[in-house]
Chains A and B, each alone.
Chain A
Amino acid sequence: MSSVLEQIEQQIAKLSSKAVKKNTGNIRTVADGVAKIEGLSDVMYNEMVQFPGGAIGIALNLEEDEVGCVVLGDISKLKEGDEVQTTGRLLSVPVGKSLLGRTVDALGNPIDGKGPIASKEYYPVEKIAPGIIVRKSVSQPLLTGIMAIDSMIPIGRGQRELIIGDRGTGKTTIAIDTIINQAKINKVGLASGDPKFRPVYSIYVAVGQKNSNIVRTIGALESAGALEYTIIVAAPAADNPANQYLAPYSGAAMGEWFMENGMDALIVYDDLSKHAVAYRQISLILKRPSGREAYPGDVFYLHSRLLERSARLEGKGSLTALPIIETLAGDVSAYIPTNVISITDGQIFLETDLFNQGIRPAVSVGLSVSRVGSAAQIKATKQVGGKLKGELAQFRELAAFAQFGSDLDAKTKAQLDRGSRIVELFKQPQFNPLPIELQVAVLFAMQKGYFDPIDVKKIVAAATSMKEFFLTRKDALLSEVRTKAALDKDLEAKLQAACDEWKGSYSS
Chain B
Amino acid sequence: MASGKKQIQQLARQFFQLSLVDGEPTADRVAGVLAYLEKHPPAHSLAVLKAYQRLIAAEVARRQAVVEHAGPLQAAALTAIAAAMTARYQRPIRGVARRNDALLAGLRVRVGDDVLESSVAGQLDQLARAV
Q: Which A residues form the contact surface with B (CB < 8 A)? A: 11, 15, 17-25, 38-42, 64-65, 287
Contacts and interface: CB of A to CB of B under 8 A. Distances in A.
Nearest to B6: A64
Contacts of B107: 19
Contacts of B113: 23-25, 39-42
B54 A19 contact: no
A19 B2 contact: no
A20 B117 contact: yes
A20 B118 contact: yes
**Top-8 shortest CB links A-B:** A19-B118, A39-B113, A19-B116, A41-B113, A22-B115, A20-B117, A15-B123, A23-B113
Nearest to B55: A65
A25 B112 CA distance: 9
Interface in B44-93: 51, 54-55, 58
A397 B13 CA distance: 70
Nearest to A54: B129
Contact of A23 (B9, B114, B126, B130): B114
A22 B122 CA distance: 11
B20 to A, nearest CB: 17
A434 B54 CA distance: 67
Given A39-B113, A40-B113, A20 B54 contact: no
A42 B9 CA distance: 21
Nearest to B129: A54
Contacts of A15: 123, 126-127
A342 B16 CA distance: 50
B9 A64 contact: yes
Contacts of A39: 58, 112-113
13 contacts: A11-B130, A19-B109, A19-B116, A20-B122, A22-B116, A22-B117, A23-B114, A23-B115, A38-B54, A39-B58, A41-B112, A65-B9, A65-B55
A23 B116 CA distance: 9
A146 B56 CA distance: 67
Interface string B95-110: 0000000000011010
